[in-house]
Amino acid sequence: EIHIDSENVPIADDSLQPHASEQAVVQSRFRFKFPVRTKTDSRPRNVLEVDEDGDLLVQRPDSTESYVIIDHFLATPLRSVGLQVWKGALLLSDFLLSGGVPEGKTVLELGGGTGLCSIVAAIFADTVYCTDKGDDILRLCRRNMDQNDHLYSGDFEKVHVRELDWTKDDPFVEGDGPWCWTSADRCNVKKIDVFLAADVVYDNSLTDSFIETLERLVRNSDQVAYVALEKRINFTLDDLDVVSPAHSFFVGHLGRLLGNGWAVEKVSTEFPQSFRYTRDKYLELWKLSGPTICT
């Protein structure tokens, strides 16, 4: 099933591992409506301007069309779903474009996959870390970051691709590899304002690890995590009903976070839609604010 509406063409990719390169790789151009005003445009509106000769300068509307180029897979085994693009990532990207996260923040995405949300976040953020696990996914993400530098003025220093393993107590492993964390990275991690995650709720054991990672990283109420997901409905013989077990398991974790002092809010998805996809009632966005520290 194709979850998105984009222009895509097959491409050859021999750089991935054998189990991944056997799948169909495509390059998609996701067109979207860019916000009329961005951080690079601070000019006041409705103010008459003149040139050096005193002639009136005609203000023309800003271009509101742009695009993201994403190399991705159309189908993968469950273990490699991060190589695809899913609707939760498009919903979260719309939220970012609508101004849901203030400019100038330090952002870390968990389970970034192809990097779509991190690329959009880099338009407004000061620093972005796109994290995932596995060489194939991280290489694909880095390539997508590089081929979308038109969106963040080629400032490669602001976007970083790193490996982050949710199952480790200290996921920020330092080393010499391309995906390893540096000492500077570890300092920046302490300054992270916003955590992002899209389409990471589909396997209960992974959901356990995801929530445990959030609890390690989000330490106070000034930090916030936005989690976008698609509620997947199934008919089960055990329940003899239509249910969404992965979603229910995730919501159970949210109840526990509430009990531990977190603020949990289901965000309205009525914000403007910039990307082309079907936004239905099964797409959800959650805002999780860290626990209040009593002094």
Sign of CA dihedral 19, 20, 21, 25: positive
Whole-angstrom Cα distance, residue 215 to residue 260? 10
N-to-C CA span, the chain: 51
**Sorting pLDDT into bands at 50, 70 and 90, what band is 292?**
confident
Whole-angstrom Cα distance, residue 133 to residue 76? 16
118-157 pLDDT, tens digit per residue, is 999 999 999 999 999 999 899 999 999 999 988 987 677 8
Nearest to 35 by CA among 103, 85, 86: 103
pLDDT at 143 (0 to 100): 94
pLDDT at 242 (0 to 100): 58
DSSP letter at 155?
-
Q: Is 294 within a domain?
A: no
DSSP letter at 180?
P
pLDDT at 54 (0 to 100): 63
5-18 pLDDT, tens digit per residue, is 444 444 444 444 44
pLDDT average, residue stretch 26-55: 62
Number of domains in the chain: 1
**Sorting pLDDT into bands at 50, 70 and 90, what band is 106?**
very high
pLDDT average, residue stretch 53-59: 55
Whole-angstrom Cα distance, residue 83 to residue 81? 5
pTM value?
Answer: 0.82
pLDDT average, residue stretch 22-48: 62
25-33 β-sheet, strand order: 7-10, 25-33, 65-73
Q: Is 251 within a domain?
A: yes
Whole-angstrom Cα distance, residue 283 to residue 264? 17
DSSP letter at 43?
P
pLDDT at 58 (0 to 100): 47
Q: Pick 41 or 254 by higher pLDDT.
A: 254
The single-letter code of the amino acid at 220 is: N
Q: Is 58 within a domain?
A: no
pLDDT at 51 (0 to 100): 56
pLDDT at 64 (0 to 100): 75
pLDDT average, residue stretch 237-258: 82
pLDDT at 40 (0 to 100): 44
Q: What average pLDDT is seen over the chain?
A: 82
pLDDT average, residue stretch 63-69: 82
Whole-angstrom Cα distance, residue 13 to residue 27? 11
Q: Pick 20 or 166 by higher pLDDT.
A: 166
220-242 pLDDT, tens digit per residue, is 999 999 999 999 776 555 554 55
Angle at 114 between CA 113 and CA 118, to 5 degrees: 85
The least confident of 142-146, 188-192, 194-198, 236-240 is 236-240
63, two tokens: 């271009």
Identify any residues that bridge with 228 across adjacent strands, giving them in sequence order. Answer: 198, 285
Q: Is 8 within a domain?
A: no
| pLDDT surpassing 60 at residue 114 | yes
The least confident of 221-225, 254-258, 272-276 is 272-276
pLDDT average, residue stretch 244-256: 94
pLDDT at 49 (0 to 100): 60
Q: Is 140 within a domain?
A: yes
Q: Is 21 within a domain?
A: no
CATH of the domain at 114: 3.40.50.150
Domain that holds residue 280: 81-289
| pLDDT surpassing 50 at residue 60 | no
Q: Is 19 within a domain?
A: no
Q: Is 207 within a domain?
A: yes
Nearest to 112 by CA among 121, 99, 101: 121
pLDDT at 239 (0 to 100): 55
Buried-state track 130-159, b at ≥16 Cβ within 10 A, e below 16: bbbbbebbbbbbbbbbeebeebbeeeeebb
